[in-house]
Amino acid sequence: MKTNQALPVKKNEQYTVTIEDLTFEGLGVAKINGYPLFIENALPGEKMDIKVLKTGKSFGYGKVLKQLTSSEDRVPVKNDNYTRVGIAPLQHIRYQAQLDFKKQQVENVMKRIAKMPDVPVLDTLGMKDPWGYRNKAQIPVRKIEGQLTTGFFRKNSHDLVPIENFYIQDPKIDQTILAVRDVMRKYGVKPYNEKENIGNLRHIMVRRGYYTGEIMIVLVTRTAKLFPKSKIIPDILEAVPETVSIVQNINTKRTNTILGNDAIVLHGEDHYKDKLMGHTFEISHRSFYQVNPTQTEKLYQKVLDFADLKGDETVIDAYCGIGTITLALAEKAKKVYGIEIIEPAVADAKLNAEMNGIDNVEYQVGASEDIMLEWSKEKREADLLVVDPPRKGLEKQFIDAVLQMQPTKMVYVSCNPATLARDLALLAEGGYDVKQVQPVDLFPQTPHVETIVLLQRADS
Ligand SMILES: C[S@@+](CC[C@H](N)C(=O)[O-])C[C@H]1O[C@@H](n2cnc3c(N)ncnc32)[C@H](O)[C@@H]1O
């Protein structure tokens, strides 16, 4: 049995501490006789009275009882709840300090994980107004005080905290969620009860085109029933006239995954349109589409700057989603090959290329690690490889295939600095030099950081 006897702190005891650092999640770090405590809403330099909430073998968690001094990076918060539910855990930090914090996160992993202490990291590209940026929301629905209610889950739980204004979302999305909630209340639709696995409406997803204003609404239900559809749909359309698509997604499973496998289109088709870098995209309810449109354009522009294409290159865009980066690259290259694992996303990608009159792209459905292995065995060549993998980064098999194929240049777009740094170390070992590292803030008020890295084959 574990015992806490040797620890220098005791659960539920109070201490006065000075915050020394921030974790990568933005929690303040205080040390008591070398034992780290992680504390929400606490900034380096601040002195605070705290209470120990939880102790583990090598670290614990504390809670601020009284803030005794204030950092110059502290700003007033929009709402305490937003830290608690994880919507805006950095909301108490001045925006420039958030950008500096993100740069430091990337510098840390470049030193500690990639073992590249000398590679300079550029300043984080930030937003002018770092609020109201999200073009997509997935909002849980539960019964609170007898009523169908929308909000957000308290961190590490499924307790719903009612929230009407999310601040980080496009305000039109907030309004749409409330309008849909009211229609659901009017017709007595039953909110999902997870414990007993009864009730029906689990989530409301809303996506909005930043340039087009088109709205897609997805009602995620536990069963295929939704009554009375013939009234619900016209009511939603009346309340939110910009709606071009309403989809019912059915998720019968007891799971944390939001979307189920089956869907019924209730209005329009299973897509809405938006624009990015001057191209129009049709986006279906399952497709990945970056959530911060203006910052995404900055990100893609950086990818193009790093790629520095002259027009005669062959390019591979792995993990291409619906082809947003692919089309931006296609305008500057001879040919671009996109690889994506989700079939409907590839169907969207093909349609999007056609819709934009772009004919020098080809898409392949499959796992990037398998397709790249196949292509490297076929001795295919590429001048540039762009990768934009999910948080877990690149598979070892993918990296091995890259080292076989040896594209001259690589641009790595990453949403997870730790896996990025791990992969960069392997690519460096295989003969690639890291030339540029650019963090971009796609998720203001949260600790997430996106990074773009330019790599070049050392012998090229
Ligand atoms: C971070 S998103 C990037 C999408 C696109 N580049 C964009 O900016 O919109 C990652 C994409 O990789 C896809 N994906 C995940 N694992 C994959 C794999 N093993 N092979 C190919 N695609 C994969 C996901 O479906 C998703 O579309």
Q: Quick one: pLDDT at residue 315?
A: 98
Q: Calculate how far, in angstroms, residue 345's C-alpha sits from the geometric centre of ligand 1.
A: 9
Catalytic residue positions, numbered: 415
Q: Give the whole-angstrom CA distance, residue 229 versus residue 224.
A: 11
Return the axis-axis angle of helices 95-112 and 417-429, rounded to nearest 10°: 40
Q: Is 0.95 surpassed by the pTM of this model?
A: no
Segments making up each domain of the chain, as ranges: 14-74, 104-127+292-457, 136-276
Q: Calculate how far, in angstroms, residue 323's C-alpha sits from the geometric centre of ligand 1.
A: 10
Q: Quick one: pLDDT at residue 460?
A: 81
Burial of residue 45 (number of CB atoms within 10 Å: 0-12, 13-18, 19+)? middle
Asked, as a colleague might, if the bond just before 417 is cis with ω within 30 of 0, I would say no
303 lines ligand 1 (CB under 6 A): no
Residue nearest to atom 4 of ligand 1 (CA): 321
Domains 14-74 and 136-276 share a fold: yes
Angstrom distances, CA of residue 377 to CA of 155, 183, 274, 381: 46, 56, 38, 11
Q: Which numeric CATH code is attached to 14-74?
A: 2.40.50.140
Q: Does 13 appear as a known binding residue?
A: no
Atom number in ligand 1 closest to CA 367: 20
Would you say residue 1 has pLDDT above 50?
no
Q: Which of 251, 306, 258, 328 is nearest to 125 (CA)?
A: 306
Atom number in ligand 1 closest to CA 317: 6
Q: Quick one: pLDDT at residue 258?
A: 96
Q: Give the whole-angstrom CA distance, residue 448 versus residue 458.
A: 31
Q: Does 20 appear as a known binding residue?
A: no
For the stretch 261-319, pLDDT in tens is: 999 999 999 999 999 999 999 999 999 999 999 999 999 999 999 999 999 999 999 99
What fold, for 136-276?
Answer: OB fold (Dihydrolipoamide Acetyltransferase, E2P) (2.40.50)
Strand locations in 115-224, DSSP E? Answer: 136-144, 147-153, 160-162, 201-208, 215-221
Q: Which of 136, 285, 339, 340 to mutate to test the pocket of ligand 1 (most atoms within 8 A of CB)?
A: 340
368 lines ligand 1 (CB under 6 A): yes
Q: Which of 339, 341, 411 to mutate to test the pocket of ligand 1 (most atoms within 8 A of CB)?
A: 341
Return the axis-axis angle of helices 171-186 and 229-239, rounded to nearest 10°: 150
Q: Calculate how far, in angstroms, residue 401's C-alpha sits from the geometric centre of ligand 1.
A: 18
Residue nearest to atom 7 of ligand 1 (CA): 321
Q: Which numeric CATH code is attached to 104-127+292-457?
A: 3.40.50.150
Q: Give the whole-angstrom CA distance, residue 266 versus residue 235.
A: 13
Residue nearest to atom 19 of ligand 1 (CA): 367
Q: Quick one: pLDDT at residue 110?
A: 98
Q: Quick one: pLDDT at residue 5?
A: 61
320 lines ligand 1 (CB under 6 A): yes
Q: Which of 334, 332, 329, 333 is nearest to 349 (CA)?
A: 329
388 lines ligand 1 (CB under 6 A): yes
Residue nearest to atom 26 of ligand 1 (CA): 321
Q: Quick one: pLDDT at residue 156?
A: 83
Would you say residue 168 has pLDDT above 80?
yes
73 lines ligand 1 (CB under 6 A): no
Q: Calculate how far, in angstroms, residue 342's C-alpha sits from the geometric centre of ligand 1.
A: 8
Task: Please tell me the total number of residues recorded for the chain in this structure.
Answer: 460
288 lines ligand 1 (CB under 6 A): yes
For the stretch 307-316, pLDDT in tens is: 999 999 999 9
For the stretch 333-368, pLDDT in tens is: 999 999 999 998 999 999 999 999 999 999 999 999
Atom number in ligand 1 closest to CA 339: 21
What interface predicted TM-score (ipTM) does this complex get? 0.99
For the stretch 389-416, pLDDT in tens is: 999 999 999 999 999 999 999 999 999 9
Q: Calculate how far, in angstroms, residue 368's C-alpha sits from the geometric centre of ligand 1.
A: 9
Atom number in ligand 1 closest to CA 288: 27
Q: Calculate how far, in angstroms, residue 344's C-alpha sits from the geometric centre of ligand 1.
A: 12
> Across all residues in the chain, what is the average pLDDT?
96
Our measurement of the distance from residue 87's CA atom to the centroid of its chain's CA atoms, rounded to an integer in Å, reads 12
